[in-house]
């Protein structure tokens, strides 16, 4: 909120001036990585040697990348614009608010199709991987946005068409590391 990310020192690391940024100080010189999805993939390559959050199988890996990129290219921009026009824009433009709300709900519907197993007949616990799926970067990149649906102005009523998405939100929220990561220590004051 202070626009520190628009100052020269930050723009040298990320010319787009967006947060977050990852800086790998194990490289010489230190190596900056911008864009959340690229950061997740960088961490997979260099910090997740056992593919705890990735996949050894190339088809499962491709599936995870597809869902990560789907969210990065569709969900996050739509939900971000929903937040901007509905909450932060000085001028409230009904067309923009309605358009981005509807697109965000459409994208939630795509997640619902995947998680419900609508076309496979098998509900899933996570976005990517064989069978019920496996918690992976696809979920890590998507979940923080979707779990914030209320911040974006969506009600429980708006979310009723997405029961599998709501279960997925709750399932991930119960993971011990996620509980720590969204815990009080990390809440904005």
pLDDT of residue 185: 77
Enumerate the β-bridge partners of residue 33.
22
Residues of the chain with pLDDT under 50: none
In CATH, 4-47 is 3.40.30.10: yes
| Domain residue ranges in the chain | 4-47, 58-179
**CATH class given for the domain over 58-179:** mainly alpha
- 4-47 and 58-179 in the same fold: no
What pLDDT shows up at residue 55?
96
Within 8 A by CB and 6+ apart from 168, the residues are 111, 115, 125, 126, 139, 143, 146
110-132 pLDDT, tens digit each: 999 999 999 999 999 999 999 99
| Segments in 34-93 forming alpha helices (H) | 36-47, 58-70, 76-83
Task: Report the distance separating Cα 18 and Cα 10, nearest Å.
Answer: 9
> Is 79:152 a contact under the CB 8 Å cutoff?
yes
Integer Cα distance of 170 and 128 in angstroms: 17
């Amino acid at each position: 909120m202070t626009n520190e990310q628009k100052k020269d020192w930050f723009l040298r690391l990320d010319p787009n001036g967006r947060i977050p940024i990852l800086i790998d100080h194990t490289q010489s010189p230190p190596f900056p990585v911008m864009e959340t999805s690229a950061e997740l993939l960088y961490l997979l390559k260099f910090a997740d040697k056992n593919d705890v959050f990735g996949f050894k199988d190339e088809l499962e890996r491709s599936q995870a990348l597809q869902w990560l990129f789907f969210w990065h290219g569709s969900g996050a921009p739509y939900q971000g614009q929903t937040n901007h026009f509905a909450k932060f824009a000085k001028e409230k433009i009904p067309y923009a608010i309605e358009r981005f709300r509807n697109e965000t709900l459409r994208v939630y519907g795509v997640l619902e199709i995947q998680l419900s197993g609508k076309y496979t007949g098998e509900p899933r616990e996570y976005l990517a991987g064989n069978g019920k799926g496996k918690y992976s970067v696809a979920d890590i990149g998507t979940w923080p946005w979707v779990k914030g649906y209320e911040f974006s102005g969506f009600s429980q009523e708006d979310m009723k068409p997405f029961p599998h998405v709501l279960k997925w939100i709750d399932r991930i929220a119960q993971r011990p590391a996620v509980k720590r990561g969204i815990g009080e220590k990390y809440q904005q004051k």
